[in-house]
Amino acid sequence: MDAADSAHTAYAATLERLYALVRFGEKLGLDGPRALDRALGGPVGRVPAILIGGTNGKGSTAAFVESLLRGRGFRTGLFTSPHLVSFRERIRIDGEDISPEAVVSLADRVFAAAARVGGEVPFFEIVWGMAALAFAEASVDFAIWEVGLGGRLDATNACDPLVSAVVSLGLDHTAVLGPDLASIAREKAPIFRPGRPALTAADGASLEALRAATDAGVELRVLGADFAAFDGALPLPGAHQARNAGLALEIVRALGIRPDPTQLAQVRWPGRAEQIAPGLLLDCAHNPDGAVALAAWLATGEGSGPGRPTDLILGMMGDKDVDTVVRTLAPHGRRVTCVTPGHPRALPAEALAARVPGADVRVLPDVRAALAGRDPAARTVLAGSCYLVGEARAAVLGVPYPEAGLRTVAR
């Protein structure tokens, strides 16, 4: 076995070891992450932190912040989840995914630290520990942490952020976070710190719920009331992305740094109204608010062209609000093709098709068949799941999927 094969084998074995941790399920709480951080020598506290949460838009906002900081010459670490195609997407330094060799080395060291702590350490905490170690050892100037789930008990909340932001607030992960906006706000608001900048782009009932859940010592700044959405050209289309970009500019200003708005044009955030091929767009819209944002953009006709129809390819997880998502998106498609994502929680395409309003609905076995059968005269928009978007990106780019042949339910 040559060196390249050996490195590939070691990387695949590490992924298999990491993905096996999902058998422990979600294990929310800060005691475990804090103990793991101590066992690693305290890397979390060695890097100034920015903490970004919310129901939708937190990944895009984090990507905008990262680009703005890097544009001013700062070294950056970016932690996001889930990944679309490669695990390495979760941990980025100066805009680049970490290497397979770094994944192997970091995982070995974090697993060893977890063994010293004792108990069952879940997947997300191990990966969070890997990112903390990577950022500290790369001496990044800022770590941008995207909250994984909720906020109050998420591992990312173990940092002491200079600035925190809740981008939006909506109904998602209700089985874990609670059934209504008030419950979800109580889980997300604790990423704010008294006396530190606290920002949000939430509005309406969501904003009121967030205000009610926010600690009295926190002064909440609100997009639209205290500052404006970005009004320039962006590579990520839609009014919701202008909101995210405006919030990112204010996050950077809250650090005492003057951002260069032109740097926003450099952002590449896959799977967010991404035109990956002529006439083919991918969007991770998987919950009601995400579907509303995508539908609002589709309604503008932007990127379509006069008289060009729009076809939809939809695939969803069975534990999402399927009916609301399809009711929101289906009216914007001349034809809807339903597929089954390659994921254990996927809703079968036949069951999804039965819940799509309208007559022109078809079922195909998988995303590759749907992509192969699309009408070249139409604009095709694929949406409904980040996992489906990952499959589609891999198919279009000719990248093996799933990576190393390993399927996972890891968030």
Q: Are residues 229 and 349 in the same domain?
A: no
The CB density around residue 259, as the number of other CB atoms within 10 Å, is 21
Structural domain contains residue 77: yes
Q: Are residues 238 and 282 in the same domain?
A: no
Q: Are residues 132 and 234 in the same domain?
A: yes
Residue 191, both tokens: 């990423």
Give CA–CA dist 162/31, Å, rounded.
Answer: 21
Antiparallel, parallel or unpaired: β 142-146 and 379-383: unpaired
Structural domain contains residue 411: no
> Whole-prediction pTM value?
0.95
* pLDDT the model gives residue 27: 79
Give CA–CA dist 84/79, Å, rounded.
Answer: 14
* pLDDT the model gives residue 309: 93
Q: Which helix (H) or strand (E) holds 97?
A: strand 96-97
Q: Which helix (H) or strand (E) holds 361?
A: strand 361-363
Structural domain range at position 310: 274-405
Structural domain contains residue 337: yes
Cβ distance 348 to 340 under 8 Å?
yes
- Phi, psi dihedral angles at 42 (to 5 degrees): 75, 40
Does the CA dihedral 285-288-292-293 come out positive or negative? negative
Q: Are residues 207 and 322 in the same domain?
A: no
pLDDT in tens, the chain (411 residues): 567 777 889 999 999 999 999 876 677 899 999 999 999 999 999 999 999 999 999 999 999 999 999 999 999 999 999 999 999 999 999 999 999 999 999 999 999 999 999 989 999 999 999 999 999 999 999 999 999 999 999 999 999 999 999 999 988 888 888 999 999 999 999 999 999 999 999 999 999 999 999 999 999 999 999 999 999 999 999 999 999 999 999 999 999 999 999 999 999 999 998 999 999 999 999 999 999 999 999 998 876 666 689 999 999 999 999 999 999 999 999 999 999 999 889 999 999 999 998 879 999 989 999 999 999 999 999 999 999 999 999 999 999 999 999 988 887
Q: Are residues 229 and 169 in the same domain?
A: yes
The 8 Å CB, 24+ separation contacts for 210-219 are 210/166, 210/169, 210/185, 212/182, 212/185, 213/182, 213/185, 213/186, 213/188, 213/189, 214/189, 215/189, 215/190, 218/189, 218/192, 218/193, 218/194
Structural domain contains residue 305: yes
Residue 133, both tokens: 């170690």
Structural domain contains residue 410: no
Give CA–CA dist 317/175, Å, rounded.
Answer: 14
Structural domain contains residue 314: yes
Structural domain contains residue 381: yes
In Å, how far from its chain's centre is CA 71? 22
User: Which three-class secondary structure state does DSSP give residue 276?
Assistant: strand
Q: Are residues 253 and 284 in the same domain?
A: no
Residue 245, both tokens: 């970009």
- Give the CATH number of the domain where residue 365 resides: 3.90.190.20
Q: Are residues 262 and 313 in the same domain?
A: no
* pLDDT the model gives residue 359: 78
- Phi, psi dihedral angles at 246 (to 5 degrees): -60, -40
- Give the CATH number of the domain where residue 224 resides: 3.40.1190.10
**What domain count does the chain have?**
2
Could you tell me if residue 346 is left (phi over 0), alpha (psi between -120 and 50 degrees) or otherwise beta? beta
Structural domain contains residue 230: yes
Q: Are residues 195 and 132 in the same domain?
A: yes
